[in-house]
Chain A
Amino acid sequence: MLKEGQIRIPAGCAISGIMNKKGELTSGQDIIKSIAVMHDRSNGLGGGFAAYGIYPEFKNHYALHLFYDDKKVKQETEFLLNKFFSIEQAEPIPTRNISAIKNVPLIWRYFAKPKVKEMALYESESEYVVDFIMRINSEVEGAYVFSSGKNMGTFKGVGFPEDIGEFFRLDEYKGYSWTAHGRFPTNTPGWWGGAHPFSLLDSTIVHNGEISSYDANRRFLEMYGYKCTLQTDTEAITYIFDLLLRKFGLPLESAVNIVAAPFWSKISRMNSEQQKLFKALRVVYSSLLINGPFSIILGSTNGFMALNDRLKLRSLIAAQKGDNMYIASEESAIREICKNPDKSWAPKGGEPVICLLDGKESLYEFDQVDENEFVRHSVAL
């Protein structure tokens, strides 16, 4: 049977997210409880979490999480890692043995900084790191980088999300922002890399839905050097935001208006200045419209954003209690951990819910790109 990446596998899902705007740290217990309520929305073939603020002692290092099929490929990959990065610490990610989780790969993490002399050819540090990850994931058979941000980590595998949470001992980590994902793939990948969240640098994405624009999106992304090796929607959505926000330097609201573009009928009712902007966004980035059902939580160091497709073909609920923000596929998943929120609402299709840490103005802070000297840079080698 073909595994994920060799074949495109549609999936339904559950998603959940919690964050504290003041940056107060909490353990992974709440998010596990929340996603566990939606047990029936996944089928035991994939679960995972993203946690921000968990590695304060290495906050300036890239925390690279890797799956290896065997020791040989680990050796091969570590040779490359050492060539391109200075490794501060390398260790197996601590896990608990639980009966529900089987066929576990080798799971390692590395706290690393890029080697300056190797970076000369790249526009920026992030470009360098992304390129390295792309190469490992597409070219080294049996190795897979599944987390690569700073002071954050993704934990995922094959199993129900609550079991995955226990397996990775998430109750022992403390973070200010958590997202979770339970997967219902319509095929049996049995591959840990195929679980979600999907992450690239600090940004993570959990996603529910099957996008019908996948190949249009993918083929556009590939022009900019992205390699959609997993053939999943989530991977494509991650790259879309990476392209729009990091490479093109567009503001988040513009990115939202591209992926969940307002209908032409709505644009025609805007004032002329707005009309010009919205028309330009739709015309120029039409291939990045995400069509079909989706609900996503896009996580970053500064907070997260939840978004529905423009027709709202997937459920998504948001709630707030004091400094805590909650997002989930179902309201029950919020009420489980927050009995009486101050308010809860169903965001409209295409209307983002943006939750930021106090004092932060945007979800992402990238290396400044001088717009006049912007050149498209292919990461393909």
Chain B
Amino acid sequence: MSINYLTPAFLIERDKDRCIDCQVCVRQCANEAHRWDEEEQRVFSEDANCVNCHRCVVMCPTRALHIKKFPLEFRNNANWTQDAMRAIYLQAETGGVLLTGMGNDRPYPIYWDHMLLNASQVTNPSIDPLREPMELKTYLGRKPDFLKIKKGKLLEDIPPQLELDVPIMFSAMSFGSISLNAHKSLAAAAKKVGTYWNTGEGGLHKDLVEHGSHTIVQVASGRFGVDADYLKTAAAIEIKIGQGAKPGIGGHLPGEKVGEEVSQTRMIPLGTDAISPAPHHDIYSIEDLRQLIYSLKEATEYQKPVIVKIAAVHNVAAIASGIVRAGADVVAIDGFRGGTGAAPLRTRDSVGIPIEFALAAVDTRLREEGIRNQVSLVVGGSIRNSSDIVKAIALGADAVYIATSALISMGCHMCQKCYTGKCNWGIATQDPQLTKRLNPEIGAERAANLLKAWAHEIEEMLGGMGINALESLRGNRLMLRGIGLTDRELNILGIKAAGE
């Protein structure tokens, strides 16, 4: 084997005064960054294997471990950065596409952090959510233009709606990309809080059918796990066209992750690669999408809302408009910072646009066309906290999708190595030794806590603005002001500058 030109990315520091050679780190690390030396009777570290997932740091009973960025410095070069060079060493060695996990980590502007919220002073009262009712209830689905009412009676039922107690749903992550215990955690958390979780494209495991009323099932280009029961079990169906982390490309679950359970759930042979094509091979244009939307509606007797999920790309406003006219009940848009279990690095880091712009552009466009009220808009792609949500709703969203935040609540430390299948936190892995580390009851509790905490914070911010129902914030862009943005950016976001 030729020399590996790569130097370690991280340095494992072991405080020998503290280390008791208990080997917890050895047992915890699936990457084999810690090793027990039988002869020396002590623990050693292999820096090169470390992905900086913090599992050993958190589990070490004596706090003997620290992980640092490897101190080896290249000669300063603003152009040829360490990342740029390391990528080349790796590709020169393997001849392969660079893979990565989780969302875009490049230092692009984060527009959420360039928007500020309003609060009431004097001319209208702020509302105290501890003393006054505060409503976050949100209904997603198609709305008729107007209602027919005669003698106090509704003449025609409204189309099916998803009822959310908090405006936050767990977005799609497939069984295969994450573990069954992670799915169980999300499903139970969604039920507990009164919202929905999303199966992703890998089907619905038989153990989770009981959570059907809080489940959104996905129909993606690979059609894994899709049959009539799957559709009927769900509360809503999502057609996945694209994903923010990798717009325009499909997915690939390697055969080694397709064990007994995954194989049954995805309805594919044991150990075979599960490949999702880049496009749906029955959707080559918007009119084809309409046919799929209505096929799914027919199959479920028009009882379930159909969501169409797309990645935020340059022409997203026009695409969204087409999707509304094609009959979707909810449009979900995933921004370029959205996470993934595995994506080609270059695609993840340089394709798509920020969700803030995509959302503003879509909401504005649908209003200009007079069709915004017909559908619901759900956005995702790096919602990090409750104020991101408040800002998203003020820009025009009905609700948000979160996935990375949900995984972090269950222990993920963002090492971005989901694609290796060696997730030490038991989330992005199918290895039974690892998956058992995530207790689904605790996972559900933590994910539910996150949603509850955010709901409280949203209520506080709403009350501060003198609003007591979330719908009065939706598209209420006067509640936002931009800071540090150009006129053009303010214009696209449709907001004023701070001080105006």
Contact = CB atoms under 8 A, between A and B. Distances in A.
A interacts with B:
yes
A10 B124 contact: yes
Nearest to A309: B468
A292 B476 contact: no
A280 interface: yes
A286 B471 contact: yes
A216 B473 contact: yes
A3 interface: no
B373 A287 contact: yes
Interface in B444-500: 465-469, 471-479
A277 B139 contact: no
B474 A216 contact: yes
A281 interface: yes
A219 B467 contact: no
B373 A292 contact: no
Interface-central residue, B120, B123, B479, by most chain A CB under 10 Å: B123
A280 B475 contact: no
Contacts of B469: 261, 286, 289, 291
B436 interface: no
A295 B367 CA distance: 29
B474 A265 contact: no
Interface-central residue, B132, B473, B474, by most chain A CB under 10 Å: B474
Contacts of B476: 212-216, 219
A273 interface: yes
B386 interface: no
B108 interface: no
B478 A287 contact: no
B269 interface: no
B143 interface: yes
A313 B479 CA distance: 20
B369 to A, nearest CB: 8
Interface residues of A, number: 52
A340 interface: no
Contacts of B158: 279-280, 283-284
Contacts of B125: 293, 313
B330 to A, nearest CB: 13
A210 B123 contact: yes
Interface residues of B, number: 42
Nearest to A243: B146
B471 A219 contact: no
Contacts of B474: 216, 286-287
Interface stretch (A31-39, A74-82, A136-144, A247-255): A247-255
A57 to B, nearest CB: 38
Given A10-B123, A251-B149, A311-B127, A291 B373 contact: no
Interface string A193-229: 0000000000000000111111110011011100000
Contact of A209 (B124, B153, B468): B124
Contacts of B146: 248-250, 284, 374
A283 B367 contact: no
A263 interface: yes
Nearest to A218: B478
A223 B367 contact: yes
A263 B143 contact: no
B161 interface: yes
A220 B145 CA distance: 12
Contact of B154 (A263, A276, A290, A310): A276
Nearest to B473: A216
Interface-central residue, A215, A281, A287, by most chain B CB under 10 Å: A215
B109 interface: no
B124 A293 contact: yes
A8 B139 CA distance: 30
Contact of A292 (B133, B149, B467): B467
B124 A250 contact: no
Contacts of B147: 248, 250, 254, 280-281, 284-285
B144 A216 contact: no
Contact of A264 (B137, B154, B367): B137
A223 B149 contact: no
B466 A212 contact: yes
A12 to B, nearest CB: 7
Contact of A376 (B120, B123, B145): B145
A284 B145 CA distance: 8
A378 interface: yes
A162 B238 CA distance: 61
A186 interface: yes
A91 interface: no
Contacts of A280: 147, 154, 157-158
A349 to B, nearest CB: 11
A283 B139 contact: yes
Contact of B465 (A212, A276, A311): A212
B432 interface: no
Given A216-B475, A287-B474, A292-B466, A223 B123 contact: no
A371 interface: yes
Nearest to A249: B146
A219 B477 contact: yes
Nearest to B139: A283
A291 B467 contact: yes
Contacts of A8: 478
Given A289-B471, A311-B127, A283 B143 contact: yes
A289 B468 CA distance: 10
Interface in A293-316: 293, 310-311, 313
Contacts of A292: 120, 124, 466-467, 472
Contacts of B372: 223
Contact of A284 (B122, B144, B153, B475): B144
A352 to B, nearest CB: 15
A261 B469 CA distance: 10
B152 interface: yes
A277 B133 contact: no
Interface-central residue, A209, A261, A310, A313, by most chain B CB under 10 Å: A313
Nearest to B132: A311
A378 B370 contact: yes
A285 B475 CA distance: 14
Nearest to B135: A264
Interface in B173-215: none
Interface in A258-281: 261, 263-265, 273, 276-277, 279-281
14 contacts: A10-B123, A10-B124, A210-B124, A212-B124, A212-B476, A213-B476, A216-B473, A219-B476, A223-B370, A263-B133, A263-B135, A280-B158, A292-B472, A311-B468
User: Top 5 nearest A-B pairs by Cβ distance?
Assistant: A213-B472, A291-B472, A286-B471, A212-B466, A215-B478
Given A10-B124, A223-B367, A281-B147, 7 more contacts: A211-B124, A219-B367, A251-B152, A289-B472, A292-B120, A313-B124, A376-B370
